[in-house]
């Protein structure tokens, strides 16, 4: 990959990982319940987004084993970190073109 920025990739992956942990805790708190507050329900819904793509593609297999589940979440964090880094690169390239 051309002009890959490792610092941006690692930062974005760590921020995504933090969001995964927070949203997973909100889901465990019962974020889908009607009695939960709005921030908890929003964070709980965010967990569904952050589970994509590995848990969506692997289906029940990803939920069957704790190790597979957390490795899948780690892969998702790295995927979103890479996606953010590439989007940032393309936006900067567009701005620098005459």
**What is the model's pLDDT at position 8?**
96
Range with the poorest average pLDDT among 37-41, 83-87, 92-96: 37-41
Cα–Cα distances in angstroms (integers) from residue 64 to residues 37, 61, 67, 72, 87, in the given order:
29, 5, 9, 12, 33
Its pTM surpasses 0.75 = yes
Distance from the Cα of residue 95 to its chain's centroid: 27
Reply yes or no on whether the pLDDT at 13 is more than 80.
yes
Reply yes or no on whether the pLDDT at 57 is more than 80.
yes
For residues 3 and 93, what is the distance between their CA atoms, to the nearest angstrom? 10
Peptide bond into 6 cis (omega under 30): no
């Amino acid at each position: 990959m051309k002009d890959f920025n490792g610092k941006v990739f690692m930062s974005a992956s760590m921020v995504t990982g933090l969001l995964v942990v927070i949203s997973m805790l909100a889901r465990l708190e019962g974020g889908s319940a009607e009695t939960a507050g709005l921030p908890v329900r929003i964070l709980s819904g965010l967990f569904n987004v952050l589970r994509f793509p590995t848990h969506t593609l692997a289906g029940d297999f990803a939920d069957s084993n704790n190790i597979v589940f957390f490795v899948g979440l780690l892969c998702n964090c790295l995927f979103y970190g890479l996606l953010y880094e590439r989007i940032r690169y393309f936006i900067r390239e567009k701005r620098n073109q005459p």
